[in-house]
């Protein structure tokens, strides 16, 4: 039979170089990856066989077998799942993940821990076999193909791989690892069983290994363990989510998450529940600690694994959770859905709607619990009262337990901040997508403010700190935190000590358009409409502002004429203290920032003509009254500087520079 040699995709060659130089800090993880792939292959066969039972051929019982040969120094992982055709072997084993390869390789940093996480996220765990093997052979036949259309794929993990046609009676795949000299530990049955128990105990099909027994050597000279030829399961072979919670350890929950998410970091939280009622299903949902690299990619697929009566149906069932929770990982096992359910049917099913609503509420409850723990940890600890001035001697064990409890509380406290840093922007999408849960989502949001650069301020926190007479929650949106903090629109608020929320995520302005009030208090952008501080502005200030506006009226009319193509209106403002001018939009108008973002994203955006507000007391503005010769130049400079201050660019930067230079000389 002829062999064909193929070159690896360039990114795979680079990846293999990293893997073979001990990219994974924990060698034994390769076995978890290969067993997980074998289990997936069996799940795919089970699903395809729903419409074509002949694919089972003469072997309806699905399983994974792990075997080793000390003399040949090989370790084999064999499944009787869907298998590979020759073209599939070339496509799947010579290319990373089908998509996202360029982004994947651009993220590689040389940091072993970070790169290992990336490998998992991009679904390239097969290549982890090269951690322990200097040669890998894959023999496979796709279910439904004749025996003479099997395929053998082999590679030493360098620049190319070989493919040839073979005869293989049994469907499925065998991955045969030719182990390196430093991988002898994986030629030991006890070690392999230990690793399988640790990482793959949750796999729902049996993982089989040959039984071994001790055989004495000749003349009582030592002995060895030898295979008996009888196969036995070495895992519990029951889907983890089907077990009672009391029978699953924390470590097992974490390892199950890692296996379904290909993440190398433990999740922040999880929830395991059996839901009964008109719709019956089991849910096991996880909040990851780290966002996937393609979370914002339009082609990113999110969603949960869907099972029906323990039969795998599909990965990434997007209909089971709303888009703003696309970061959640886990499993839904329904007792009511039909086995032949399709993605189209999922969109229309009443049962799916009930599962979606129940799972959404469960995820929000997990987030609320994390947020409560963060608040509790931040509260000052109550001091223990001393009895009659005598200091109690604390038992050593109690002290150690107190330290452990404090460490756990500290860890829990940081979890919500960690979650929010990774997924806060996505969560905000829920304000516009999930009307039923909008209030719950609003309570989970966190922002920076003029009192805190970190995104730790909740709307409830803000409201609790509002000044007497303050009638609105004030916020500002900007491209960066620095732009928000230094915006001219904040000057009067800083002067009066009024806190303003600083919002710098791209999604903020869109999301806030769906949240007009919180707990009965309206939200007000400081960059929209005329500033109205209500009871916080005394009558003297209001009267002075009105008189200034009246006295400045002739200059305002000239400014409106000079800037008619740029500004919708020009008016005197009370929001400025130190700056000469700023730009705002009308109360319900689109901000210039949002319009810029839409254009950058290639979307249509209406032309936004902002309102120019001027500080009548500023020397530069007063100069307008005295310098007729340079009035137009000064007017345009005022406008362009206000635009620059909010992160925009003048329409004609060269003209702006000329005007400034002319005035300077």
Q: DSSP for 110-124, please give it.
A: S-HHHHHHHHHHTT-
Q: Enumerate residue ranges in the chain where pLDDT < 70.
A: 1-2, 9-25, 95-124, 218-221, 297-301, 377-410, 531-532, 534-538, 541, 592, 596-603, 605-606
Does the annotation place 615 within a ligand binding site? no
Does the annotation place 435 within a ligand binding site? no
Residue 412, number of CB atoms within 10 A of its CB? 18
Does the annotation place 124 within a ligand binding site? yes
Alpha-carbon distance of 215 to 488, in angstroms, equals 85
Please state which CATH number belongs to domain 446-664.
Answer: 3.40.50.11260
Query: Token digits for 225?
Result: 């363990």
What is the per-residue pLDDT for 100?
39
What is the per-residue pLDDT for 605?
66
Whether 3-238 shares its CATH topology with 446-664 is answered: no
CB 481 within 8 Å of CB 508: no
Give, in order, the Cα–Cα distances in Å from 579 to each of 402, 484, 649: 54, 15, 18
Query: Token digits for 189?
Result: 């049955």
Alpha-carbon distance of 10 to 102, in angstroms, equals 10
Does the annotation place 37 within a ligand binding site? yes
Domain ranges of the chain: 3-238, 239-379+405-445, 446-664
Q: pTM for the full model?
A: 0.70
What is the per-residue pLDDT for 357?
95
For domain 239-379+405-445, the CATH class is alpha beta
Does the annotation place 159 within a ligand binding site? no
Does the annotation place 425 within a ligand binding site? no
Out of 3.30.565.10, 3.40.50.620, 1.10.3720.10, 3.40.640.10, the CATH code matching 3-238 is 3.30.565.10
Alpha-carbon distance of 418 to 594, in angstroms, equals 27
Alpha-carbon distance of 453 to 501, in angstroms, equals 10
Does the annotation place 121 within a ligand binding site? yes
CB 432 within 8 Å of CB 320: no
Query: Are β-strands 207-216 and 172-179 bridged in parallel, bridged antiparallel, or unpaired?
Result: unpaired
Does the annotation place 126 within a ligand binding site? yes
Alpha-carbon distance of 497 to 650, in angstroms, equals 32
Does the annotation place 497 within a ligand binding site? no
| Burial annotation 611-650 (CB, 10 A radius, 16+ → b, else e) | bbbbbbebebbeebeeeeeebebbbbbbbbbbbebbbbeb
Look at residue 98 and give its three-state secondary structure. Answer: coil
Closest CA to 289 of 417, 406, 198: 417
DSSP β-bridge partners for residue 216: 223
Does the annotation place 33 within a ligand binding site? yes
What is the per-residue pLDDT for 239?
82
Q: Which residues, at least 6 apart from 664, have a Cβ–Cβ distance to it below 8 Å?
A: none
Does the annotation place 122 within a ligand binding site? yes
Does the annotation place 299 within a ligand binding site? no
Residue 405, number of CB atoms within 10 A of its CB? 10
């Amino acid at each position: 039979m002829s062999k064909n040699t193929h070159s690896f995709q360039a990114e795979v060659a680079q990846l293999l170089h990293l893997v073979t130089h001990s990219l994974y800090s924990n060698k034994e993880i390769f076995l978890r990856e290969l067993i997980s792939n074998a289990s997936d292959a069996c799940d795919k066969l089970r699903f395809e066989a729903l419409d074509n039972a002949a694919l089972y051929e003469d072997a309806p019982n699905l399983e994974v077998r792990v075997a080793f040969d000390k003399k040949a120094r090989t370790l084999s992982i064999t499944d009787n799942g869907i298998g590979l055709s020759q073209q599939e072997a070339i496509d799947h084993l010579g290319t990373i993940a089908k998509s996202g390869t360029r982004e994947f390789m651009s993220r590689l940093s040389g940091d072993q821990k970070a790169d290992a996480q990336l490998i998992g996220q991009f679904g390239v765990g097969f290549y982890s076999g090269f951690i322990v093997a200097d040669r890998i052979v894959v023999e496979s036949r796709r279910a439904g193909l004749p025996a003479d259309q099997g395929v053998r794929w082999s590679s030493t993990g360098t620049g190319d791989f070989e493919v040839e046609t073979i005869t293989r009676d049994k469907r499925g795949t065998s991955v045969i690892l030719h182990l390196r000299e430093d991988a002898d530990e994986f030629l030991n049955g006890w070690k392999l069983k230990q690793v399988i128990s640790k990482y793959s105990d949750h796999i729902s099909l049996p993982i089989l290994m040959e039984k071994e027994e001790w055989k004495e050597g000749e003349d009582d000279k030592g002995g060895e363990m030898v295979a008996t030829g009888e196969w036995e399961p070495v895992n519990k072979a029951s889907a983890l989510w089907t077990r009672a919670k009391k029978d699953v350890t924390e470590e097992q929950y974490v390892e199950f998450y890692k296996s379904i998410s290909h993440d190398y970091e433990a999740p922040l939280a999880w929830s395991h529940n059996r839901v009964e009622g008109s719709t019956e299903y089991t849910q096991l949902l996880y909040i990851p600690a780290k966002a996937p690299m393609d979370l914002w990619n339009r082609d990113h697929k999110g969603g949960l694994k869907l099972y029906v009566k323990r039969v795998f149906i599909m990965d990434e069932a997007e209909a089971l959770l709303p888009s703003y929770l696309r970061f959640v990982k886990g499993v839904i096992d329904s007792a009511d859905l039909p086995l032949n359910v399709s993605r189209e049917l999922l969109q229309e099913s009443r049962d799916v709607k009930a599962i979606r609503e129940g799972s959404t509420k469960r995820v929000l409850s997990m987030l609320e619990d994390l947020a409560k723990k963060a608040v509790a940890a931040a509260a000052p600890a109550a001091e223990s009262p001393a009895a009659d001035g005598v200091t109690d001697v604390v038992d050593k064990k109690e002290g150690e337990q107190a330290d452990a409890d404090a460490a756990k509380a500290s860890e829990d406290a940081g979890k919500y901040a960690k979650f929010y840093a990774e997924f806060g922007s996505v969560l905000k999408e829920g304000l516009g997508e999930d009307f039923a849960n909008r209030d719950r989502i609003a309570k989970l949001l966190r922002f920076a403010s003029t009192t805190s650069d970190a995104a730790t301020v909740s709307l409830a926190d803000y409201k609790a700190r509002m000044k007497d007479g303050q009638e609105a929650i004030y916020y500002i949106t900007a491209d960066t935190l620095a732009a928000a903090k230094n915006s001219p629109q904040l000057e009067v608020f800083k002067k009066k000590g009024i806190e303003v929320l600083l919002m710098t995520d791209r999604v903020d302005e869109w999301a806030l358009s769906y949240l007009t009030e919180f707990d009965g208090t309206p939200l007000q952008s400081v960059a929209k409409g005329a500033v109205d501080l209500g009871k916080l502005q005394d009558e003297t200030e209001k009267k002075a502002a009105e008189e200034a506006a009246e006295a400045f009226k002739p200059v305002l009319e000239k400014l409106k004429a000079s800037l008619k193509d740029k500004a919708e209106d020009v008016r005197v403002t009370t929001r400025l203290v130190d700056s000469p001018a700023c730009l705002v939009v009308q109360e319900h108008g689109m901000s210039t920032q949002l319009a810029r973002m839409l254009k950058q994203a290639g979307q249509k955006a209406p032309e936004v003509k902002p309102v120019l507000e001027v500080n009548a007391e500023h020397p530069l503005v007063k100069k307008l009254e005295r310098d007729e010769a340079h009035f137009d130049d000064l007017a345009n400079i005022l406008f362009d500087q206000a635009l620059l201050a909010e992160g925009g660019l003048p329409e004609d930067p060269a003209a702006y520079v000329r005007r400034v230079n002319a005035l300077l000389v």
